[in-house]
Amino acid sequence: MSAFSQDLGSSNKLFGRSKSPAGKKSARKTSAKNRAAVVKAKTPSAKGKAASKSSKSARETHTATTKPTPKKTTPKTAPTEPSAKKPDSVPGTWRPKIVTGPARARDVAIPTGKAADDLYEKLIGEGNTARDEREYTKAEVAYRHAMAIKPKDSRAVYGLGNLYGDQMRWEDAEEAYRMALAIEPNDETAYIALSFVLTQPVSAPNLGERYEEAENLARRSIKLAPSNSLAFDQLGVALELRGLIGTETENAYRTSIRLDPGFAPAYAHLGRLLRRRGLANESDNAYQNAIRRANDVPTMILVADVMQSGQRYAESELLLRRALAVDTRNPEGMLMLGRALTALGNFSEAENVLRKGLAITPNGFIPNSLLGSLYIRQGKFESAENALLQAMRFASPNERRSLSLNFETVGDGYLKAGKARNAERAYRQAISLDGERESLPGKLARAQHG
């Protein structure tokens, strides 16, 4: 479960922002989890978008219909090595360009004047529609085309940030939001979006610095928009991740609730915080308030995510089943349900749900990583190794560190079962992913000597 194990934040529903220019389409999505003082903004209209009655905005779940084609593996045979990762999926490598990924778009000439304005708005609209339809590759191509036409307009690059967030490509989303802030440094919602991304579960070596920056970004957003409920909620998340579970963190969540009494995730965050402080009854009341207010799919998923971060898997399962009854092709809901079922020991259904999610999402890291964890728990180490090898195809540098831990666990399982050669292979893979871990050379030596 390494892909989610440190999550104290919200799920991957991202952000709209303040008002877009009159008559212009937006690449910023308002979604059903937050955006308290943010008016529909520079965000695409979302299919199935639902908003809190009072805030009408939130982070939203939009997931892809583009299907990956992972190579099938047979548990009884030695795992096959994954193909190389596409350069554009590595954080820090993308730049505004005309074509990206497996899909080739039409070449776009760069016009000027009104023709440039018209084409830019057309491409933003195409990107928004494709994202709403979960056609993420198509959306990315459209946003990149728009960026090539107007590199100083933040809407297209912000749209890319939201798009990467939908796919849980946190490091790519981080880079996009940083670029958006460089273009428009007084956008309070972009500060929240970047803060949100920095509180996502990644195996970065500088987590303390990331969480401190997330706190500062949330404070900056509050300074720009003092009535933004989401900003206070995100401040609480950042403080909690920093290990600060006292009055200031509680006040941040309660201020978010005061500003938007219908904002369910803030109740869930408060419930988790109170549980950590030993206030069981108050915690249960806050969680129940969150459940009562989770009336749309994105909010149900967000609240379930907070519950899972507090180990409340049974309650999260109920919310996720409700969400998937409405949105049957929501890959994030499927992955989170698979995680809950794995934690609850329902391995057969968990595998089925995770494979369905894998068939929908274009980012195969998390579903394959979760499948690997599921197989490890069952002692199916060959199947686990195959799933982890597939996850490698999509892993960012930070995600490679978490995969190294999983490969080490697989090696331990092989070694305990007397399969020294298989253990050696798994340990070598772990070292290739993270050669600085001190435990690995000794284990590799033991495997090599039988």
Per-residue pLDDT tens over the stretch 285-301: 999 999 999 999 999 99
Predicted confidence at residue 79, as pLDDT, reads 53
Predicted confidence at residue 26, as pLDDT, reads 63
Which stretch of 249-258, 320-329, 359-368 has the lowest confidence by average pLDDT? 359-368
The winner for highest mean pLDDT among 20-24, 30-34, 98-102 is 20-24
Average pLDDT over residues 72-77: 39
Could you tell me what percent of the chain has a pLDDT over 70? 76
pLDDT at 52 over 80: no
Could you tell me what percent of the chain has a pLDDT over 90? 63
Of 3.30.450.40, 3.40.50.720, 1.25.40.10, 3.40.50.970, the CATH number of 364-450 is: 1.25.40.10
* Whole-number average pLDDT of the chain: 80
Dist. CA 70–CA 191, nearest whole Å = 35
Which stretch of 65-74, 145-154, 161-170, 436-445 has the lowest confidence by average pLDDT? 65-74
Task: Flag whether the pTM goes above 0.85.
Answer: no
Predicted confidence at residue 113, as pLDDT, reads 84
Predicted confidence at residue 49, as pLDDT, reads 36
Residues 6+ apart with CB under 8 A from 314: 340, 344
Predicted confidence at residue 327, as pLDDT, reads 92
Predicted confidence at residue 111, as pLDDT, reads 78
pLDDT at 82 over 70: no
Predicted confidence at residue 68, as pLDDT, reads 34
Q: Can you read off the two tokens belonging to residue 363?
A: 């980012």
Predicted confidence at residue 310, as pLDDT, reads 92
pLDDT at 376 over 80: yes
Number of Cβ within 10 Å of residue 102's Cβ equals: 11
- The domain ranges of the chain are 364-450
For the chain, the three-class secondary structure string (H helix, E strand, C coil) is CCCCCCCCCCCCCECCCCCCCCCCCCCCCCCCCCCCCCCCCCCCCCCCCCCCCCCCCCCECCCCCCCCCCCCCCCCCCCCCCCCCCHHHCCCCCCCCCCCCCCCCCCCCCCCHHHHHHHHHHHHHHHHHHHHCCCHHHHHHHHHHHHHHCCCCHHHHHHHHHHHHHCCCHHHHHHHHHHHHHHCCCCHHHHHHHHHHHCCCCCCCCHHHHHHHHHHHHHHHHHHCCCCHHHHHHHHHHHHHCCCCCHHHHHHHHHHHHHCCCCHHHHHHHHHHHHHCCCHHHHHHHHHHHHHHCCCHHHHHHHHHHHHHCCCHHHHHHHHHHHHHHCCCCHHHHHHHHHHHHHCCCHHHHHHHHHHHHHHCCCCHHHHHHHHHHHHHHCCHHHHHHHHHHHHCCCCHHHHHHHHHHHHHHHHHHHHCCCHHHHHHHHHHHHHHCCCCCHHHHHHHHHHCC
Predicted confidence at residue 108, as pLDDT, reads 53
pLDDT at 101 over 60: no
Predicted confidence at residue 112, as pLDDT, reads 79
Predicted confidence at residue 381, as pLDDT, reads 98
pLDDT at 349 over 80: yes
Average pLDDT over residues 331-337: 90
pLDDT at 410 over 50: yes
pLDDT at 92 over 50: no
Average pLDDT over residues 170-187: 94
pLDDT digits (tens, 9 = 90+) for 116-131: 999 999 999 999 999 8
Which stretch of 50-59, 253-262, 386-395, 403-412 has the lowest confidence by average pLDDT? 50-59
Predicted confidence at residue 27, as pLDDT, reads 64
pLDDT digits (tens, 9 = 90+) for 12-28: 344 544 334 444 556 65
Predicted confidence at residue 362, as pLDDT, reads 66
pLDDT digits (tens, 9 = 90+) for 216-254: 999 999 999 999 999 999 999 999 999 999 999 999 999
pLDDT at 54 over 70: no
